[in-house]
Amino acid sequence: MPKSVANGTPKMYNRSMSKLILSPYADVYLNLSCEETLFNSFDGEPTLYLWRNHDAIVIGRWQNAWKECDCKRASEDGVKIARRLTGGGAVFHDLGNLNFTFIVSDTDFDIKRQLGVIVSALVRLGTEAVSSGRNDITVNGLKISGNAFRKSGNTALHHGTLLVSGCADKMEKYLRPSPLKLAAKGVDSVRSRIGFLRDINSSIGTADLALSVAKSFSEEYGKLRYIDFDVDRFGKSAEYFSSPDFIFGKNPPCSVNVDIRTSTGVHTVSVDVEKGSIARVGLYSDTLDDDLPDIIVNRLTGIRFNADGIRKAFINATDSRIAEFGQALSEYFDNKIFD
């Protein structure tokens, strides 16, 4: 919200001015942290923030990471998974994707106006783009930009992607759930036919596009003044955005069913996961060991639903049956979902 002067009167701004921040870093957690800082410290002056990331999957605020992407494969390939603070679907970021963020006052917020800034930037570069559908931007019927929004008090945020170049195979590879038997709550992504601007217009590059977006923003909101990227200030919440508790602990509830075989029989383990922990466990088995199911259920209930949590639940087991079960269950999750 706009800051106030000493007497409590809202500070007035020259409405012919706006801000531009360019991120020199390609780390998704740092860039999300910067965006959050700009949003929380908004002083009333329209702000444009432009940023790019190395390979990353960015899920919406209300989505379940395990349902939206192959977490195991992403981890193996060094692809980061991040959760943003806006709704919408999962997207894949790489250096061929230019991200833009508009932060304006609630009274200035107008989706058509903001999308118009992007459309005019593309038209300036010789590409006939239109806004359509679920607040998307398309060229020749192909989606080249998805957008999401957020408001708090008198501050509004609109951010989106611009697919300049990239690899559709990577999107297909990572933006799908693992083979794990997963029944998860949460908002599913709506898949659209996507396109890359460079395939449509080979002269477009991320640098030229960034300049064009900045020019269009300036024409709409006022002369831009450049703000240095202060990593100490903007990176304060990067650790929060990178924490497993935020990325996976914010997952909506889900249920996981696992089939494993040990020397004691064939077992189906059913776990309900809430806020990143196992809330309930069911064990269905043809085992002849009457005490085994209760022991397994007690060891799993309440632990964190991650690789370390499951391993630690069985690490001190002196009973060979329990140790074998724990090993089989850990290997299953390691091979299917956890890194």
Q: How far apart are CA 240 and CA 297, in angstroms?
A: 32
132/49 same-domain check: yes
Task: Report the domain count for the chain.
Answer: 2
46/88 same-domain check: yes
The domain that holds 199 is classified in CATH as 3.30.930.10
Range of the structural domain that residue 297 is part of: 254-336
Instruction: State residue 43's pLDDT score.
Output: 94
231/267 same-domain check: no
Lowest mean pLDDT across 118-127, 144-153, 187-196, 300-309: 187-196
Q: Name the strand (E) or helix (H) holding 224.
A: strand 223-227
The answer to whether residue 5 is domain-embedded is no
Instruction: State residue 285's pLDDT score.
Output: 81
- Within 8 A by CB and 6+ apart from 276, the residues are 244, 245, 248, 249, 250, 251, 304, 305, 306
The answer to whether residue 2 is domain-embedded is no
The answer to whether residue 305 is domain-embedded is yes
Domain endpoint, select from 247, 282, 302: 247
Q: Phi, psi at residue 274, to the nearest 5°?
A: -135, 130
Q: Which residue has the tokens 């794990």?
A: 180
Range ranked top by mean pLDDT from 63-67, 94-98, 138-142, 163-167 = 94-98
271/137 same-domain check: no
Domain endpoint, select from 204, 225, 247: 247
- Within 8 A by CB and 6+ apart from 95, the residues are 26, 52, 53, 54, 206
The answer to whether residue 264 is domain-embedded is yes
Instruction: State residue 198's pLDDT score.
Output: 93
The answer to whether residue 9 is domain-embedded is no
Q: How far apart are CA 305 and CA 280, in angstroms?
A: 11
Evaluate if pTM is beyond 0.85. no
Check: CB of residue 1 under 8 Å from CB of residue 208. no
Check: CB of residue 51 under 8 Å from CB of residue 68. no
Q: How far apart are CA 91 and CA 191, in angstroms?
A: 10
233/152 same-domain check: yes
Q: For the stretch 242-264, what's the b/e string if a residue is b when 16 or more beta carbons lie within 10 angstroms of its beta carbon?
A: beeebbbbbbeebbbebebebeb
> Quick check: 189 pLDDT over 60?
no
The answer to whether residue 275 is domain-embedded is yes
39/172 same-domain check: yes
